[in-house]
Chains A and B, each alone.
Chain A
Amino acid sequence: DSGVTQTPKHLITATGQRVTLRCSPRSGDLSVYWYQQSLDQGLQFLIQYYNGEERAKGNILERFSAQQFPDLHSELNLSSLELGDSALYFCASSVLAGGGRGELFFGEGSRLTVL
């Protein structure tokens, strides 16, 4: 158990819909990362937050957005869903700078299926 919690584990929805994926980082971790992994593909970096502020953006679509709340949990919002958005979405947390070893701790992912 990595200590990172992601909900829901599975989600099936239709094209055009909107979903929200939630991530609770490990206790004490200030940084949250989101990744997308399509079938048999590598991990694509989407976005990173540190202590509530956006720190880095990857190839995140404009239809996607995220935020990190004061209690440090994070949400990834996916809207106007398309078939190609079907994927595993992973959240990871770490202690960033000033302490810790910098490794990422990943949740078990949220599997999104768009029909």
Chain B
Amino acid sequence: DAKTTQPPSMDCAEGRAANLPCNHSTISGNEYVYWYRQIHSQGPQYIIHGLKNNETNEMASLIITEDRKSSTLILPHATLRDTAVYYCIVRENRDDKIIFGKGTRLHILP
């Protein structure tokens, strides 16, 4: 079973920041938080990951709470091309079985 809980869907206006929450209250100390997205029926795409500290790359920012029980993926300026299902996963880097939950379907509104 997936170790994360995400809202099934969210809307965001184009040009605004999209903030996607993820709850992982049972995360262990050596588990990372990974985010992927799947646009329509394409192969999922890696976005970002982190352990304790907040992370930023060219695609997004990841904010992890101090107790590590939840995180937020931030797309700073959402565009229509960001419409996708976003998956939050927790895993150790040595995990062999990587389980995806149902994710959040993000709709970007023009």
Residues of A in contact with B (beta carbons under 8 Å apart)? 2, 4, 33, 35, 37, 42-43, 45, 48, 50, 55-58, 88, 90, 92, 96-97, 101-109, 111
Contacts and interface: CB of A to CB of B under 8 A. Distances in A.
Given A42-B102, A42-B103, A106 B45 contact: yes
Contacts of B87: 43
A108 B39 CA distance: 11
B38 to A, nearest CB: 8
B44 A45 contact: no
A108 B44 CA distance: 8
B94 A42 contact: no
Given A101-B49, A106-B45, A56 B96 contact: yes
Nearest to B38: A43
B96 A103 contact: no
A45 B43 contact: no
A42 B101 contact: yes
Nearest to A31: B96
A88 to B, nearest CB: 6
Interface in B36-93: 36, 38, 41-46, 49, 87, 91, 93
A35 to B, nearest CB: 8
A45 B102 contact: no
Q: How large is the interface on B (under 10, 10 to 19, 20 to 34, 35 or more residues)?
A: 20 to 34
Contact of B44 (A90, A97, A102): A90
Contacts of B99: 45, 58
A81 B73 CA distance: 39
Contacts of B38: 43
Contacts of B49: 101-103
Contacts of A111: 41
Nearest to B100: A43
Given A42-B102, A104-B36, A109 B96 contact: no
Contacts of A101: 49, 93
A106 B34 CA distance: 14
Nearest to A55: B96
